[in-house]
Amino acid sequence: MAKPGRVSGFPEWLPEGQVVQQAVEDAARRVFRLHGFCGLETRAVEPLDQMLRKGEIDKEVYVLRRLHAQESEADSGLGLHFDLTVPFARYVLENAGRLEFPFKRYQIQKVWRGERPQEGRFREFTQADVDVVGRDTLPFHFEVEMAVVMSELLASLPMVPAATIQVNNRKLAEGFYRGVGADDPDAVLRVIDKLDKIGVDATERLLVDEAGLTTTAARSCLALAAIRTPDASFAEQVARLGVSNDLLDEGVRELAAVVEGANRERAGSVVADLRIARGLDYYTGTVYETLLAGHESVGSIASGGRYDSLASDGRQTYPGVGISLGVTRLVSVLLGHGLVTVSRAVPTVVLVAVVDEESRPASTAVADRLRRRGIACEVMPTADKFGRQIRYADRRGIPYVWFPDAAGDTVKDIRSGDQIAADPEVWCPPAEDLDPRVERALPTSDAPPRQEERS
Amino acid sequence: MAKPGRVSGFPEWLPEGQVVQQAVEDAARRVFRLHGFCGLETRAVEPLDQMLRKGEIDKEVYVLRRLHAQESEADSGLGLHFDLTVPFARYVLENAGRLEFPFKRYQIQKVWRGERPQEGRFREFTQADVDVVGRDTLPFHFEVEMAVVMSELLASLPMVPAATIQVNNRKLAEGFYRGVGADDPDAVLRVIDKLDKIGVDATERLLVDEAGLTTTAARSCLALAAIRTPDASFAEQVARLGVSNDLLDEGVRELAAVVEGANRERAGSVVADLRIARGLDYYTGTVYETLLAGHESVGSIASGGRYDSLASDGRQTYPGVGISLGVTRLVSVLLGHGLVTVSRAVPTVVLVAVVDEESRPASTAVADRLRRRGIACEVMPTADKFGRQIRYADRRGIPYVWFPDAAGDTVKDIRSGDQIAADPEVWCPPAEDLDPRVERALPTSDAPPRQEERS
């Protein structure tokens, strides 16, 4: 097999990086479960005709073909899912009769998009989604819970920089745009979505030229998008713009409720940011984005919103709200900028030394007894001199080496050099040594950013 | 969105089934880590030219194409991986300079094959693999450890029927075939691989017609394949067949060492079964298959073997040995035959009742305090009458309902009806209620097999 190359946009990590990704996924699972979301996994593929109903995204789908398929059936009609929301909506429709509503689920899986790769953008990446859907109705307070859940998750990861969840509301935006005379509020939203990229002047021109606004209306919309407050005081700033519309008022009330509700539970977790638009057109209420302090350029690492009509079978609708953590994007920032350290790449706590090959079964028996008590062990692969066996452990970051001895076993902490008598039925390592530790890296002003990402 | 249909061969489970799959994956991760295997994830795609070097499998690969790709680049040159061994070998070659050898890793991911679906065979399924690879050499004793690890894993799952790991050795088979005069031992192996499907008589004919054996030699090979012992006594039966070959002798010694070594660690875990062939041609030593008692027809649920030349960059080779649990196949048997029960589908231990919408923040605060102590909670979505709130919990299998009360909170076990005063900073449920329990179902002779599988 010739030396293989990497595939652009399909990142892989070294074992240390994988420990970081696993820590993020474990934390997500833990926090989601604490909030009562059940775990779900959907197939990786969806029928193309279902997926392509989401207009914007059709360029990016990977289509599947069996290698030896006949010409007449060149494509399977299946594509790899590009997010986890559309498959979840499909799953809910398919199984509605067997689910209890409101149905809360989390889903941690890979998704695929045939996009041009760039920093923070991949062709294959893992998302960790939580959503709740109701049947016909869904209480508003879940829009608060989503922000709280994501804030709790990010705060539980010590190596993640400060994250702020920015919240807006589609009703607020649409009502405002209608209030200033927009005929096509979606067109206004699509232009505002470009504000960060193209700047205020170009946005104002597009609002006039493409969205059909007057210059005065365009400037009002830009003034709205400039509002950002850590509390509900955005409402006064909106009021000062002098636009009157019922939908706007409803959106203002909802946004205030999310900001106040989430900050009551987790102070400082959420800000109102009236620039947030979110590209996907299925959102109908609250929308979320999340930026990492100092790493804003990589884009949002956790996004989502309320959707009222994504899942409907014609008779019933299943309104929902959800938020999605970009696991791969987050991990690529942590690894690529050296923000994280890992105490070791292997789960192994103890290397059991081997005196000679004849006595290997005795070493294996020690390992077996430690494992029964939850202590991860390896048995030394070869009966080398003990100095080499200790170096074997040291190179892997394994903290302890166990020496079986008919006269009484000993275990050595190879970091301190301390060696003590030990019984495999009794000895325990300190709790902090049981699993690899994932911690925030100390800032090193002179170190260049590490390129751990293997894409 | 119209009511969507299922996609044949791409199974999905209801939430209860997902709890079972998660229990299997968690157990795999736990046992693999206790043995010092580090977690790894590789991209879902591999370049086609790399993958197609494995002859047998090329029909089954799914090729990717971007939906809006130009004609000239119709295919991406990428296919979905059909197993986790070939990607692992590629990963090892790509990162050899950054890994410590022997390198032990586990990998739990989906794989895809464009096969015709049937019982136990899917187009998308999850595998849980463990492998260890060395640089240039790999000690034999890892071939014992693989059987022990898989046996430990299966024994740790109370709902899995008795599983026996059947072991054979390629050197034994090849040496024997050469010893009876076969020019092409691989051709003999391919025919023997069909024995279970086509029977003894047809196999004997094919051994003569296709593999070029004499009738006497063919009968010897069939006699070899009929040998099955729970210990190393197979060696005497092989000797009685009167075939002499050095490679055969080496294979007999290795197989005896695996059977004796694994059964010393876990009595009865392994049998020598000289019929086991394994289709893939990269195995060079020990091979493993695993049948579930009473469900043999579904095929092996855990298979693997020793491979000496799968990963080589021309200068160095990376011999390895591994075994792969077919998670989806195992779960489909457990669900499809009603072998398993789940205490509840949701992680929620406590439903916190809501007195009225005004006091929802008080209920949320109780939930927050319980969650900080690791107790999964939901807050009642709507302030219904308490009877309805209790039914909400009951329908989901949530065992406890918490009633906030300014005069003193209480918590009710809705199974027993017991209601006691409780403080959210102190109260704990019994440990067995903390997570959904996955248990062996009691046998019900008159119940038809359940069709939980959603393919």
- What pLDDT is stored for residue A415 in this prediction? 97
Q: Compute the count of residue pairs across chains A and B with CB atoms less than 8 Å apart.
A: 246
Q: What is the ipTM of this complex?
A: 0.94
For the stretch B356-372, pLDDT in tens is 999 999 999 999 999 99
Q: Establish if B95 touches chain A: CB-CB under 8 angstroms.
A: yes
Range in A7-11, B48-52, B97-101, B205-209 with the lowest mean pLDDT = B48-52
In the predicted structure, residue B231 carries a pLDDT above the cut 50: yes
Contact B103, B296 (CB under 8 A): no
Looking at residue B25, what is its pLDDT? 98
Q: Are B28 and B84 within 8 A, CB to CB?
A: no
Across the interface, which of B36, B62, B313 has its CB nearest the CB of A3?
B313
For residues B117-146, average pLDDT? 94
Residue B65, pLDDT score? 86
Q: What is the pLDDT of residue A213?
A: 96
Among A101-110, A367-376, B56-65, B324-333, the range scoring the smallest mean pLDDT is B56-65
> Is B57's Cβ below 8 Å from some Cβ in A?
no
Q: What is the pLDDT of residues B75-98, one digit of tens each?
A: 678 999 999 999 999 999 999 999
Given a cut of 90, is residue A293 above it in pLDDT?
A: yes
- The Cα of A213 is separated from the nearest Cα of chain B by a number of Å equal to 33
B309 and chain A in contact, CB less than 8 A: no
Q: b/e map of A238-261 (b: 16 or more CB within 10 Å)? A: beebebebebbbebbebbbbbbeb
| Interface touch B66/A80, C-beta < 8 Å | no
Nearest by CB: A346 against B13, B38, B310: B38
**Which residue is it, tokens 């080589």?**
B312
> Looking up tokens 């439903």, which residue turns up?
B351
Contact between B41 and A2 using a beta-carbon 8 Å cutoff: no
Q: Is the pLDDT of residue B448 over 60?
A: no
CATH topology for A350-435? Rossmann fold (3.40.50)
Q: Please give the residue of chain A at the shortest CA–CA distance from B103.
A: A346
Nearest CB to B110; choose among A44, A58, A382: A44
Write down the mean pLDDT value for chain B.
92
- Beta bridge partner(s), residue A44: none
Residue B397 and residue A425: Cα distance in Å, rounded? 38
3-state DSSP call for residue A338? Answer: coil
Average pLDDT of the segment spanning B24-50: 96
Map residue B432 onto helix, strand or coil: helix
* Partner-chain contact B12 A41, CB within 8 Å: yes
pLDDT value at B455 more than 60: no
For residue A169, the tally of other CB atoms under 10 A from its CB is 30
Write down the pTM of the prediction: 0.94
B4 touches chain A (CB under 8 A): yes
Out of B38-52, B234-248, B255-269, least confident range = B38-52
Predicted local confidence at residue B277, as pLDDT = 83
Domain residues of chain B, as ranges? 350-438
List the single residue in B with minimal CA-CA distance to A452.
B98
**Per the CB < 8 Å rule, is B66 touching A68?**
no
pLDDT at B452: 46
CA dist A444 and A338 (Å) reads: 9
pLDDT band at B53, cuts 50/70/90? low
- The predicted model gives A310-336 an average pLDDT of 93
Contacts of A376 in chain B (CB under 8 A): 33-36
Lowest mean pLDDT among A66-80, A344-358, A428-442, B372-386: A66-80
Give residue-wise pLDDT tens across range A31-54: 999 999 999 999 999 998 877 765
pLDDT tens by residue, A346-405: 999 999 999 999 999 999 999 999 999 999 999 999 999 999 999 999 999 999 999 999
Q: Which CATH superfamily is domain A15-341 in?
A: Bira Bifunctional Protein; Domain 2 (3.30.930.10)
Contacts of A362 in chain B (CB under 8 A): none
Task: Please indicate if any CB of chain A lies within 8 Å of the CB of B371.
Answer: yes
Distance of CA A327 to the CA centre of its chain: 3
Question: Which of A335-339, B119-123, B158-162, B253-257 bottoms out in mean pLDDT, i.e. has the lowest?
Answer: B119-123
Query: What pLDDT is stored for residue A70 in this prediction?
Result: 59
pLDDT per residue as tens digits for the range A413-440 = 999 999 999 999 999 999 999 999 999 9
Q: Do B313 and A371 touch (CB under 8 A)?
A: no
Read off the pLDDT of residues A132-172 as tens digits, 9 standing for 90 and up: 999 999 999 999 999 999 999 999 999 999 999 999 999 99
In tens, the pLDDT along B172-206 reads: 999 999 999 999 999 999 999 899 889 999 999 99
Phi then psi dihedrals of residue A294, to 5 deg: 85, -5
CB contact under 8 A, B264 and A361: yes
Domain boundaries B350-438, CATH class = alpha beta
Residues 197-216 of B with CB under 8 A from A: none
Q: How many helices (H) and strands (E) does chain B have?
A: 13, 19
* Residue of A338, A333, A282, A331 lying closest to A126 (CA atoms): A331
